[in-house]
Structure 1
Amino acid sequence: MKKDFSLLFISLFFVLQVFGQQEKPNIIFILTDDQRWDALGFAGNEIIQTPEMDRLAEEGIYFENAFVTTPICAASRASLLTGLYERTHGYTFGQGDINQPYMDQSYPVKLKEAGYFTGFFGKFGVNYPGFSTLFDKGESYDRNGKFDDRRGYFYKTIGKDTVHLTRYTSQQAIDFIQEAPADQPFMLSLSFSAPHAHDPAPLQYFWSEEFDTMYQNITIPDPELGEDEYFMEQPEYVRSGENRTRWFWRYDTPEKYQHSVKGYFRMISQVDAEIGKIRKVLDEKGLAENTVIILMGDNGYFLGERQLAGKWLMYDNSLRVPLIVFDPREEGGIRKSEYALNIDVPSTILDYAGIKVPKLWQGVSLRSPKMKNRKDFLFEHLWQVAIIAPSEAIRTERWKYFRYINDPSHEELYDLSLDPMEINNLAADPVHQKTLNQMRKKLEKKSNAYLKAKIE
C-alpha cells in the first residue's frame, strides 16, 4: 500500500512538473544587426516594407523610445546577455573573452537552469569559449570575412543549395521549433547578421534574388543633415575617423547612396519575410498562443546623416533602435513612451519565464512599473581604438550631454525638447552653463557607480 502511494505521489509530482513547464510561455528573442529605429514601417517609414514586424508591433507593445547603452555590436550583445552596462561587464572588441562571472548569471544560463529548452542561431558576437554549453542547441556564425563579394552572405547551405544567411538562420529556427520537446517550454535566440553591410565588399549589401525588384522604382530622399556644415561641426578625429571612411564606402555619390540604402532596406525586408515563416510554423504547431516574441536591433545606424556612416557616436542615429514585445496572452496595440534599454531585455526574458533576476543586473523588466521611474541613463562607447573616438553621454527626458573620453574639453549639450535632431550644441552658451555642469556631474556619478559594480 505504501509502495503504491509512493508511486502515485511520484507520478503526480512528475505530471504537475510537466504541466507547470507547459504553462510557462515559449520565448523567441530576435536580434537584427544595425537596424535603426525608423527602419520599420510601423515607426512611420513610408518606404520600407516590413509587414511582419509591423504586425508584431500592432498586436503587441511598441516602445517608441528604445535605445542601446553602447552603439557597437560586441558591447551591446554582451549587455544583452548579462543585463549590464559596458562599464560594468568590461567587454568590447579587443578585450579577449568576456569574464566568466558575468556569463554565469547570463540569461541563457538562467533559462536552462529553470528547465527551458534553449537554442541560439546566428551572430553571437561575444568571445566566449563556453558557447557550446550555453544552449541545448546552437550554432554561432556571421558573415564570412574570407570573401570580398556576395559569398560573405552566401556560404551556408540548406540541403545542396547555398542560401543567404538570413534564410539559413530562419531555417535553423524552424527546425528548432519543430524538434523542441513537447514537455518543456523553449527559449530561442535568433541573431540575424542582416542588415549589416559586408564590409570587405565594394557593393556592401547583399540579399536574395526574390528581393531584387523591391524599391527599384523608388528614389530614396537625401539624408537629413547631409550638408557640409553638419560634417564640419564634428571634431577632426570624427571627420577623419571610421564614420567618415565608411561614408565613402556607402554614400559618397548619389548612385552609391541609392544602392546602399535600398540594399539596407531589402535586407531588412528579407528578415521580415523570414519572421513570417517562423510565425506560420508556430501556428501550425499550435504554439502561437503561448509564444512571446521580442524584437530588437543591436544598435542604431547612420544612413548618411552629417555625412557619416556606421554607428559608435553618441547621436541618436547610433543609439535608437526598434523594440517590440509581443505576448499573445495579453492585450496588444500598445505604444509605450517610457525609455527602454537593451539591458532591460534579459530582465524581461526572465520575467516572462518566472525567474528571479540577478541582483547585479542593471536593467529592469519592460513589464515592470519601475520603467516609469527612469529619469536618466548612460550611453558609452569605451573601445580604445584610433579610428573611432571613445565617448560617453547621459540623457534625461529633456537634455543630452556627451563628451569624448580622450578629449573631454569637447562637450556637446542638446535641449531635446526643442532640438530632437541634435543640431544646436549649447555647451558653450553662457545661459546653459548651470545645466552643463549638472549634466556633467550626473554623468560622472553614474559612471563611477557602474564602474564600482564590476566583479573583480
Structure 2
Amino acid sequence: MNKVEALGILGLVLVIACFTSCKGEKTNSDMKTSGQKNPNIVLILSDDQAWTDYGFMGHEHIETPNIDRLAEESHTFTRGYVPTSLCSPSLASLITGLYPQQNGILGNDRILPTDDPSKKKEVRGENFKPLIKQFEKFETLPDLLKPKGYLSFQTGKWWIGNYKNGGFDKGMTHGDISRGGRHGDEGLKIGRNGMDPVFKYIDEAVEKKKPFFMWYAPMMPHGPHTPPDSLYQKYLKKTPSKYVAKYWAMCEWFDITCGQLMDYVDNKGLTDNTIFIYVCDNGWVQNEDNASYDKVSKRAPYDLGMRTPIMIKWQGQIKPLMDTSSIVSSIDIVPTVLSLLDLEKTEKMEGIDFLDQQALDNRETIYGEIYDHDFYSTEEDLFYNIVYQKPYKLIVPNKKNKPNEKIELYDIFQDPYEENEISEAHPQLVETLTKKAIEFRN
C-alpha cells in the first residue's frame, strides 16, 4: 500500500468516526443550518402549583408520570423562576418576554384610587382598557412567529381581554366583561371539561400544513379543587386533610391532561417536529384546614411562590439534561424559542437563550417584582423587589407598603425552603444586591 492509498483510507476512517460520534441531538447552531421545517410549539402552563409538587421533583405522594416523562426527555431546569408570584402578571411576562414593570400588567385587577373597592367587578373592564391598548403595542410570541407562517391558538387562562389581544389567530377566551370575561371565561373549560378544542386546533393546523403555537393554560390545579372522585379518594388515604387530598388530586388530574395532549401530538406523527415547553405561573402551598393557600406561597416573594421547573423538549434536536445548578427565568422562554427559529428577540427583552451555555454563564442576576393584587401603578403598588445572584436571593420590601418588614437574604442552594435568613452575616453582599434591586426598579 502506498502513502496515497494509506492517507485515503485514514481519511475515510476519520469521516466515519466523526459521523458516528456526531449523530444524536444537534446544537442550536446545527439546527439553524439544517433546513429543518419550522417546528410546532406547545406551551404547557400549570396554574398554582409549588415547585415541590411533582414526582420527578421528589414529592412523596403526588404522582405526575406524564410531566415526569417530559422532564426526562427535556432540557429541564429545576431552578426556574417566574418574575412574580401571581397569575395575570406572570402570564403577561411569559408571552411578552418582559418584566411586569415593562409591560404594565402588575396584578390581577386594576383599581384606581377613586374606585369603590366593593365594585371591583364592575370597574375592572373599564380600568383595564388602557392597559390592553398598551399591551397590544408589544410584540407577543404569537406576533413574532407570524412571519414564519405560524398559526397561534389560545386555550385556558388569559387575562388581557380577548385572545386576539395576545396575537392569537384563534382562541377560547372572549374577554367580554358583560359575559363573565376576566381571566379566561370559556377558556377555563379546557382540561376540566375535556381536550376537544385543543385537538381541533391541532387538526386545523395539520390540515392547513402550517406550524402552530399552542397556549395550553388550563385552570389546573388551581381552585376550585374539584378532581374526579377516584383521584380524590386515592389521595384522601394518604393525608388526614380533605383540602390537601383535593389539591394533590388536582395535580395528578392536570398531569393526565398533559399526557392526553402529548399523546395526541405523538399519534399525529408530530412529536419529532414539535417543541414542548413547560412552566408554572406561580406556586401554591395548600392549607390543611381550609381551601386557601399558605401565605408563604402565592403572592409571596419566597421560592414556594416564585420557583418552578422549566422544561424544553425537541426530540432529536435538544439534548435531554436535568440541570440542577443553573438559575433561569420564564422571561427567557421567548428569547430561547426565537433563537431556535433563527429570529431576533426585541430590544426590550432582558431574557436570554437559556440553551446558550455561554449566555447562561455570563449572566450574573435575574430579578423578581411583586405588586398588589389590585394595582394602580408601579410607584404606588410595589411590595417587593427580588434579586437572584447564584447561590443567593435577596428580598427587598418596599418601605412604603411593607414598612415593618426587613431585607432578607437566603442561600437558596443550601436552604431551598428559606428557613435561615443570613443578611447580618453578609452585609457587603446585601449592599451590593440592594443596589442592583434599586437599579432594576428604576
Mapped pair 1:77 → 2:97 = no
Match of 1:7 in 2: none
**Would the alpha carbon gap of residues 413 and 352 (structure 1) be closer, same or farther in structure 2, given more than 3 Å must change?**
same
Query: What per-residue deviation string (whole Å, max 9, x for no partner) do you get for residues 96-124 of structure 1?
Result: 22453664411111112321011111111
- Quote the offset at 1:307 in angstroms: 5.5
In 2: Cα distance, 1:116 partner to 1:310 partner = 36
Match of 1:178 in 2: 203
**Would the alpha carbon gap of residues 129 and 312 (structure 1) be closer, same or farther in structure 2, given more than 3 Å must change?**
same
Match of 1:268 in 2: 251
In 2: Cα distance, 1:112 partner to 1:206 partner = 38
**Would the alpha carbon gap of residues 138 and 71 (structure 1) be closer, same or farther in structure 2, given more than 3 Å must change?**
same
- Quote the offset at 1:59 in angstroms: 1.3
Match of 1:373 in 2: 362
Match of 1:440 in 2: 434
Checking the alignment, whether the CA contact within 8 Å between 1:68 and 1:341 is kept in structure 2 is yes
**Would the alpha carbon gap of residues 356 and 168 (structure 1) be closer, same or farther in structure 2, given more than 3 Å must change?**
farther
In 2: Cα distance, 1:218 partner to 1:411 partner = 38
SS at match of 1:28: strand
In 1: Cα distance, 2:237 partner to 2:179 partner = 33
In 1: Cα distance, 2:196 partner to 2:51 partner = 26
Match of 1:318 in 2: 305
Match of 1:402 in 2: 395
Which residue identity does 1:348 align to in structure 2? T
Query: What per-residue deviation string (whole Å, max 9, x for no partner) do you get for residues 318-354 of structure 1?
Result: 1101211111122543112311111111222323333
Q: Which runs of 5 or more structure 1 residues have no equivalent in the other structure? A: 1-19, 148-154, 158-162, 199-204, 220-254, 449-456
* Aligned ranges 1:421-432 → 2 under 5 Å: 421-427=417-423, 429=424, 431-432=425-426
* Aligned ranges 1:24-423 → 2 under 5 Å: 24-92=38-106, 93-95=108-110, 96=128, 97-100=131-134, 103-125=137-159, 127-128=160-161, 131=164, 134-140=167-173, 165-168=190-193, 170-180=195-205, 181-198=207-224, 205-219=225-239, 258-304=241-287, 308=295, 310-330=297-317, 332-336=319-323, 337-369=325-357, 370-383=359-372, 385=374, 390-405=383-398, 406=400, 407=402, 410-423=406-419
Give the alignment's TM-score, normalised by structure 2: 0.75
Checking the alignment, whether the CA contact within 8 Å between 2:44 and 2:276 is kept in structure 1 is yes
In 2: Cα distance, 1:156 partner to 1:109 partner = 23
SS at match of 1:109: helix
Query: What per-residue deviation string (whole Å, max 9, x for no partner) do you get for residues 163-208 of structure 1?
Result: 964243622111111221342111111111111123xxxxxx1123
Q: How well do the aligned residues superpose, as a CA RMSD in angstroms?
A: 3.1
In 1: Cα distance, 2:103 partner to 2:213 partner = 23
**Would the alpha carbon gap of residues 270 and 146 (structure 1) be closer, same or farther in structure 2, given more than 3 Å must change?**
farther
**Would the alpha carbon gap of residues 197 and 145 (structure 1) be closer, same or farther in structure 2, given more than 3 Å must change?**
farther
In 2: Cα distance, 1:182 partner to 1:355 partner = 23
Query: What per-residue deviation string (whole Å, max 9, x for no partner) do you get for residues 145-177 of structure 1?
Result: 999xxxxxxx979xxxxx964243622111111
Checking the alignment, whether the CA contact within 8 Å between 2:91 and 2:281 is kept in structure 1 is yes
Give the alignment's TM-score, normalised by structure 1: 0.73
Query: What per-residue deviation string (whole Å, max 9, x for no partner) do you get for residues 261-307 of structure 1?
Result: 22122112112112222222222221121111111101122335996
Checking the alignment, whether the CA contact within 8 Å between 2:296 and 2:302 is kept in structure 1 is no
In 1: Cα distance, 2:166 partner to 2:387 partner = 37
In 2: Cα distance, 1:61 partner to 1:267 partner = 25
- Quote the offset at 1:81 in angstroms: 1.5
Checking the alignment, whether the CA contact within 8 Å between 2:393 and 2:411 is kept in structure 1 is yes
- Quote the offset at 1:368 in angstroms: 2.1
Query: What per-residue deviation string (whole Å, max 9, x for no partner) do you get for residues 118-150 of structure 1?
Result: 11111112x2457267222211279x9999xxx
In 2: Cα distance, 1:417 partner to 1:26 partner = 35
In 2: Cα distance, 1:178 partner to 1:51 partner = 26
In 1: Cα distance, 2:232 partner to 2:436 partner = 49
Which residue identity does 2:169 align to in structure 1? D
Query: What per-residue deviation string (whole Å, max 9, x for no partner) do you get for residues 409-447 of structure 1?
Result: 6221223354332223234x3x43222222211211222
Which residue identity does 1:184 align to in structure 2? K
**Would the alpha carbon gap of residues 317 and 50 (structure 1) be closer, same or farther in structure 2, given more than 3 Å must change?**
same
Q: Which runs of 5 or more structure 2 residues have no equivalent in the other structure? A: 1-33, 111-127, 376-380
